[in-house]
């Protein structure tokens, strides 16, 4: 019984889950043609095997369940986001590692 309980506990601890490790929303001085508010989040996902993956989600959903996804290398994502810069052209994300990613507005506006 102890082995089964331990296995059950370990399964629950490693059960696939996701968490938002960074959140940002467009500046009030920036607006896009679709006239919606936009959100960005770095989402960390854990698999049952213990592997981590990172996705940058940008779109109109404040819950970050829908939008434009961009997979981020785990070594870059694990360091975290240093800053985001929202402009009329899109959003630039600066990672702690020094890497930058620019996503043009056409990819996350109008419900994409």
pLDDT digits (tens, 9 = 90+) for 57-102: 999 999 999 999 999 999 999 999 999 999 999 999 999 999 999 9
- Residue 87 in tokens: 């402009």
User: pLDDT at position 8, please?
Assistant: 61
Query: Which single residue is written with the structure tokens 């600066």?
Result: 94
**pTM (predicted TM-score):** 0.81
What the block records as the tokens of 10 is 């370990």
Residue 17 has what pLDDT? 82
> Given its phi and psi angles, is residue 80 left (phi above 0), alpha (psi -120 to 50 degrees) or beta?
left
Helix locations, 1-112, DSSP H: 2-14, 74-77
């Amino acid at each position: 019984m102890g082995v089964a309980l331990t296995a059950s506990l370990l399964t629950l601890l490693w059960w696939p889950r996701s968490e938002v490790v960074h959140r940002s929303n467009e500046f009030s001085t920036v607006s896009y043609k679709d006239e919606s508010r936009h959100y960005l989040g770095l989402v960390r996902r854990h698999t049952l095997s213990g592997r981590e993956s990172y996705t940058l989600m940008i779109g109109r959903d404040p819950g970050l369940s829908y939008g434009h996804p961009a997979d981020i290398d785990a070594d870059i994502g694990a360091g975290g986001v240093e800053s985001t810069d929202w402009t009329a052209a899109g959003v630039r994300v600066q990672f702690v590692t020094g890497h930058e990613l620019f996503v043009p507005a056409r990819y996350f506006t109008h419900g994409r």
